[in-house]
Chain A
């Protein structure tokens, strides 16, 4: 009779870090489907390419670190990173951009810091920011959703073969199918008032594709909240603060600022709120900290969108708040039972 001798507890909730990652991946699939529905095969090819690359890079680094490859690949974290980056990239971005991004995300931003759980910054967002700064042309060449393509001229979304040719070959996305994103349009409106812009732009009157995608992400996020993968604090605070600040400015000057719904449903707001800002590794931990973290992201997003250099700001806002997460954790510690006040900071007693 061989009896084990180990520390309590002896019962464990059946769980695995991989389960959590897998659920997040599943929850992001509706968003991917919506993207593909509106933009063609590009996003799917990107996701597949990114996932394969991520697994390869991760395996290579783990091999170099002489650790069991199967054990670490089984946590799905590499695939999740790849998925999130691919979802944020333009649909028909050349393969080498994706490769550079994934390499940077997996090797530099994650494994060099010590692997899963050790990285201070969200790897997908680091890669996104790197690509955006280094390859602005590729990173801003969005295709138009099929709803906005003028079918009379014979232009259409690339077929699967064409998509492969664009991503992996020399082929270019036809000009007729490229289009600015709504946020870009709004950013570069110049002196035109909001009402005028709305009356001029066909794009701004056909926002349905982007809103559809956002809804898909929202659905995935609600699924994750129901499954208790994370708490409501970060996405709730982020969306609420974004709504409040955009509402404030819109209310004070509707001719110059976009309405709150515009900010909530366009760009990567929903993707960021439910899939990226909630990355537990790089976010604040305590509930109070999460609220501050989420709310600050919302405010930063608005500030950068309106007064920064880039039309969208999810990546930068999240990276900036990643920086503050340890600080937030130190100063938002929960009150311990039997102590009058929560302790702050790390000072010695």
Chain B
């Protein structure tokens, strides 16, 4: 047979096989929709606080999917940035201080005797975690509060406090062990070394106090 014909036939066969493979793969491994936004959204803390300058977490997730920086979420902090960097395979940037700093998790608390029932905080709450009606006292459903502090600003009588969540016996966990050798001060940077020293002093003081008490 003509070698040219053989070459053509072989190429044809190969292209057919690969075409079939690709077709099979496209059906078998079909990707539904645009899950990247969902994935990003699921990593965000869902405080809906708007500190990223987007009106909620999902809009920010969409913006990230379109190339927005990943370091604009103060409530999520470094861990969220790390998770996003991991997901999107980009460099983990330090938190953009322009949008606020990472803070201790807290919940809103309404000083109820000062509340005048203006409903402004209810309208501000992105997750409907404030209960109340016009001219009735309002209160925060603590378990639903995301700590976004959007309700603090609108309150005309300043009766909303952000109370940091304290660790309880249930939420307490072990801390990470001190890095390796305790004697390496330089390993942890100067500031940390000083801090450790202070901590130790404090421990000693505590002990002394305890001793006095006993």
Where the two chains meet, the residues of A that have a C-beta atom closer than 8 Å to any C-beta of B are: 1-2, 7, 66-68, 71
In the complex, the answer to whether B211 meets A2 with C-beta atoms within 8 Å is yes
Q: How far is the CA of A67 from the CA of B210 in the complex (A)?
A: 35
Q: What total of chain B residues lie within 8 Å of the partner, measured CB to CB?
A: 11
For B187, list chain A residues within 8 Å (CB): 66-67
For A1, list chain B residues within 8 Å (CB): 210-211, 214
Q: How far is the CA of A7 from the CA of B187 in the complex (A)?
A: 23
In the complex, the answer to whether B211 meets A67 with C-beta atoms within 8 Å is no
B24 to chain A, nearest CB (A): 23
Q: Which residue of A lies closest to B207 (CB)?
A: A2
In the complex, the answer to whether A68 meets B181 with C-beta atoms within 8 Å is yes
B29 at the interface (CB under 8 A from A): no
In the complex, the answer to whether B184 meets A67 with C-beta atoms within 8 Å is yes
B1 at the interface (CB under 8 A from A): no
For B4, list chain A residues within 8 Å (CB): none
In the complex, the answer to whether B183 meets A71 with C-beta atoms within 8 Å is yes
Q: How far is the CA of A159 from the CA of B192 in the complex (A)?
A: 57
Q: List 19 A-B contacts (CB under 8 A).
A: A1-B210, A1-B211, A1-B214, A2-B207, A2-B211, A7-B174, A7-B177, A66-B184, A66-B186, A66-B187, A67-B181, A67-B184, A67-B186, A67-B187, A68-B181, A68-B183, A68-B184, A71-B181, A71-B183
Q: Which residue of B lies closest to A70 (CB)?
A: B183
For A68, list chain B residues within 8 Å (CB): 181, 183-184
For B207, list chain A residues within 8 Å (CB): 2
B172 to chain A, nearest CB (A): 13
Q: How far is the CA of A7 from the CA of B184 in the complex (A)?
A: 21
* Interfacial residues of chain B within 165-188, with CB under 8 A of chain A in the complex: 174, 177, 181, 183-184, 186-187
A71-B181, A71-B183 given; 14 more Cβ-contact pairs under 8 Å: A1-B210, A2-B207, A2-B211, A7-B174, A7-B177, A66-B184, A66-B186, A67-B181, A67-B184, A67-B186, A67-B187, A68-B181, A68-B183, A68-B184
Q: How far is the CA of A1 from the CA of B210 in the complex (A)?
A: 8
For B174, list chain A residues within 8 Å (CB): 7
Dominant secondary structure of chain A at its interface with chain B:
loop
Query: Contact flags (1/0) for B186-214 with A, using CB distance below 8 Å?
Result: 11000000000000000000010011001
For B210, list chain A residues within 8 Å (CB): 1
Q: How far is the CA of A68 from the CA of B210 in the complex (A)?
A: 34
For B183, list chain A residues within 8 Å (CB): 68, 71
For A2, list chain B residues within 8 Å (CB): 207, 211
B141 to chain A, nearest CB (A): 34
For A71, list chain B residues within 8 Å (CB): 181, 183
Q: How far is the CA of A67 from the CA of B187 in the complex (A)?
A: 8
Q: How far is the CA of A192 from the CA of B62 in the complex (A)?
A: 76
Q: Which residue of B lies closest to A2 (CB)?
A: B207
Q: How far is the CA of A220 from the CA of B133 in the complex (A)?
A: 84
Q: How far is the CA of A68 from the CA of B174 in the complex (A)?
A: 28
B94 to chain A, nearest CB (A): 24
For B186, list chain A residues within 8 Å (CB): 66-67
A9 to chain B, nearest CB (A): 13
B83 to chain A, nearest CB (A): 13
Q: Which residue of B lies closest to A72 (CB)?
A: B181
Q: Top 6 A-B pairs ranked by shortest CB distance?
A: A66-B186, A2-B207, A68-B183, A67-B184, A71-B181, A7-B174
For B181, list chain A residues within 8 Å (CB): 67-68, 71
Q: How far is the CA of A1 from the CA of B181 in the complex (A)?
A: 26
For A67, list chain B residues within 8 Å (CB): 181, 184, 186-187
Q: How far is the CA of A238 from the CA of B174 in the complex (A)?
A: 43
Q: How far is the CA of A68 from the CA of B185 in the complex (A)?
A: 10
Q: How far is the CA of A2 from the CA of B209 in the complex (A)?
A: 10
Q: How far is the CA of A84 from the CA of B75 in the complex (A)?
A: 54
Q: How far is the CA of A66 from the CA of B186 in the complex (A)?
A: 7
B85 to chain A, nearest CB (A): 17
Q: Which residue of A lies closest to B187 (CB)?
A: A67
For A66, list chain B residues within 8 Å (CB): 184, 186-187
Interface centre among B184, B207, B210, B211 (most CB of A within 10 A): B184
A65 to chain B, nearest CB (A): 9
Q: How far is the CA of A2 from the CA of B177 in the complex (A)?
A: 21
B211 to chain A, nearest CB (A): 7
Q: How far is the CA of A1 from the CA of B214 in the complex (A)?
A: 9
Q: How far is the CA of A71 from the CA of B183 in the complex (A)?
A: 9
Q: How far is the CA of A67 from the CA of B211 in the complex (A)?
A: 36
For B184, list chain A residues within 8 Å (CB): 66-68
Q: How far is the CA of A67 from the CA of B214 in the complex (A)?
A: 40
A4 to chain B, nearest CB (A): 10
A263 to chain B, nearest CB (A): 43
